[in-house]
Every structure is written in structure tokens, then in C-alpha cells.
Chains A and B, each alone.
Chain A
Amino acid sequence: MVKVSEFPDDERQAYLDRDMPSFDETPFVKGKPLSERRVALISTAGLHRRGDRLFTEESGDYRIIPGDIDEADLVMSHVSTNFDRIGFMQDVNVAMPFDRLRELVDEGFVGSMADYHFSFMGATPPEKMAPSVRDLVDILRKDEVDTVMLCPV
């Protein structure tokens, strides 16, 4: 099992005590009913198309993943060794639930699925991702996305 609660004591504490950005307040955007929303997935698992630029230490940029990607072309170059990769080896949906989101669209639970989805690499300090988010948000707007489902690793 790869749970933080099962890390050795000193490593667990260091992991939990990691530096994090602090925010004075939390934004909260209300929106349409779920059945009318257009949803994009954003992962921090260091996922990308095979052949796309690899993630490396402190990569703050993102990779674009088309919603209709053949799952054989979806790979992971996250630098950490401290999380389970067998799940992703067996089924991409355990990390990036493309098929599940498609099913929720088909049953009318959500309105539609974005054309483009994204991945960052979560070992990077979040402040280094912030500049890329502005570009990413422009793409989301052009794709008429109003809702993002964030998928950690």
C-alpha cells in the first residue's frame, strides 16, 4: 500500500510538513446545474501523449491531452517513486477517468466533456505552475469549459 499513513514516521512528518502556498481566502464560483456543465479533467500525475515532452524536476508547465486519445498513447513521466503506478498500468481511468466522464455525459449527469484535458507534474512547487495556469484558462474558455475536475496522484 502506498498511503502516507504507512510511510516511516520521519518521512511521513516531512511529507505532511511540506511547504505549501497559503491563501487568505478561497474563491468560490457557482455555476449552472451539473447537467449543463462542460467538464475538463486536469491531473497532476505527469501524464502526456507518448512522444510529447517529458516532465522533469520542477516542470511547471502542462501537457495537453485530447479527450479522444487512444489510451495506449497516454504515458506518465512523473519524477516521484512514492506512489502506486500499477493502477495506471492496468487502467488509465484510475488516474484520469476519461471513460467514466464520457459515461456521465451519456447518462446526462453532466452536460459535455471538454475537447482538451491537461496534466501537470505534482512534484513541482505549485507557485511554478501558476504562470502556466493563465494560458491554460484561456484554452478552457475557448473550449467553453466551465468546470474542472482536478485529479491528484
Chain B
Amino acid sequence: MGALAHYIEREGISTTQVSLVKEHTLKINPPRALWAPFELGRPFGAPDEPDFQRRVLKAALKLLERDSGPVLEDFPEEAPGSASEEDTEGWACVVNFSEAVKEITVEEDPLGALKQEMDRLRSWYDLGVEKRNGRTTVGISEVDLDILSEYFVSLIDDVDSAPPRTDIPRFQMVKLAADDLKAYYFEAAAAQPGNATDKSLADWYYGETAIGKILALVNESCRLSGDEVLMKMSDRRLLPIHQKHHKLAVN
């Protein structure tokens, strides 16, 4: 981000920015930056907090009133809802996927298990979309979720299985399928009561669901595929850094 500030400002246009990683900003030394102690992905602090977002934006813009630079200033407030982990421990998906109620397991029928799980989340997903006046982040692949589910599960046994889109590289198809499925689950889970954070949803998604198990299996298929691009992607793009412990311990 700071490098872009250099490139644009040297063309004669003033820049200011939010910084989420102070160490990087100190190295790059852009003209103006407001360091904010927010989560990655949330440069304006928190969703649906217009007053707070406006304060952050104003503070970043006010750096433009300085006569000389570079300027690196700290934003003094934590984001609303940036609760400590104790405050978010209470979140749990209210659709129960425990073995006791799960009729289909990933081990016996991965596609069946996935479809069953997605069906159970459907009402929450629909409710979330309704609350946001029809907005959803699902659909980036432009492929129907049922087709994506079948494709994703097929990758467990065969990374060469026919992709639903042939106009994009295979690694991108795999990644888009993973992203769309995750978006569906996260939107459904975030629509439920409670203060769900990205970490609490990720702990549930990667650690407690059928899709989490399938993802670990697909990750492993990609890692062992012999295809350099898929192997690299399996290391970096399918599991977040804080969920690497869900990688399968298979050689």
C-alpha cells in the first residue's frame, strides 16, 4: 500500500492512507499514514459502525493538512467489537454437526455430507442475504454452488477432474471453488446470533465441519499432485496461517 502512495504522489497527486502493519509502513515510509490497530481486512475498523468509520477516514484525511512529511500517526481507538478472545468464545454455530446428529459422514460419502451440511445452513444464508438487501459475496466463480460442491469433492481423488470452467487456469478454478464455498458458510454463520469473528468462524469452518475435512483432503491432493502451481497454492492459498494445524499429516 505504501509503495502505491510513493508511485502516485511522485506523479503530483497527494495521498494519505490507513496502515494496518506498522512495521511495513516504517520500512516504506509513505508520505502520510494513519496506523490503526485493526484486524487485517478491516481498514476502517468494523462493519456497520458508520460513526467510527467516519472518524478513521477523517483522521487519515486530516494528515493532508500537515505542511511537511512523511507523517505517521497512530489512531488512538480500538475498533468497536474488537473484543478480546474471551468475549467471542461464546459464539458457536447453532446448526449442530456433531457426529450424534450427522447421518452422513465425510468418510463414507463426502459429497453427501457436504450437501447435507449446506442444506442445514441454507436458511441462515438466505436470512443473511435478506438482511443485506440481497447482497452476497458468494458467486465470484460464476458457477452454481451445487456444481462447485461436486467439483470440489471430486478433487479429493483426482485433481484432474473436469473443471466447471475451462476459460481459467485449473489452480484458479480450485481456489474460486474454495472461496465460494467458504463465503457461503461464513455468510450463513455470520447471520446467526452472537459476536462471530473471522477467527471464531474459521475455527468452526476448518475444524468442525464436513467442508473443513474435505478442504484438508483437497489441500493434500493438491500438495501431492506433482503440479507445481497446485502444490504452491496448497501451501499458501487454501488454509489461513492460523489454521495450518488442520493440514493432514500425510506424506
Contact = CB atoms under 8 A, between A and B. Distances in A.
Q: Do A and B associate with each other?
A: yes
A150 B10 CA distance: 15
Contact of B11 (A2, A90, A129, A137): A137
Interface stretch (B51-59, B100-108, B114-122, B149-157): B51-59
Contact of A93 (B18, B53, B137): B53
Contact of A148 (B13, B39, B238): B13
A123 B201 CA distance: 23
Interface string B53-79: 110011011101101111000000000
Given A82-B240, A133-B11, A103 B176 contact: no
Instruction: Name the interface size band of chain A.
Output: 35 or more
Given A88-B137, A147-B15, A149-B16, 7 more contacts: A2-B240, A2-B242, A3-B40, A81-B240, A83-B41, A85-B198, A94-B43
Interface of A: 1-4, 6-8, 11, 15-16, 18, 20-23, 26-31, 33-34, 37, 39, 42, 44-45, 50-51, 54, 56-57, 71-72, 75-77, 79-91, 93-95, 97, 99-101, 103-104, 109-110, 120, 122, 126-127, 129-130, 133-134, 136-137, 140-141, 145-153
Interface of B: 1, 3-21, 23-24, 27-31, 37, 39-48, 50, 53-54, 57-58, 60-62, 64-65, 67-70, 82, 85, 132-137, 139-140, 142, 168-169, 171-172, 175-176, 179, 183, 186-187, 190, 196-199, 201, 237-242, 244
* Across the A-B interface, the 10 shortest Cβ-Cβ residue pairs: A126-B3, A84-B41, A83-B41, A91-B47, A150-B17, A83-B40, A90-B47, A84-B198, A152-B1, A72-B135
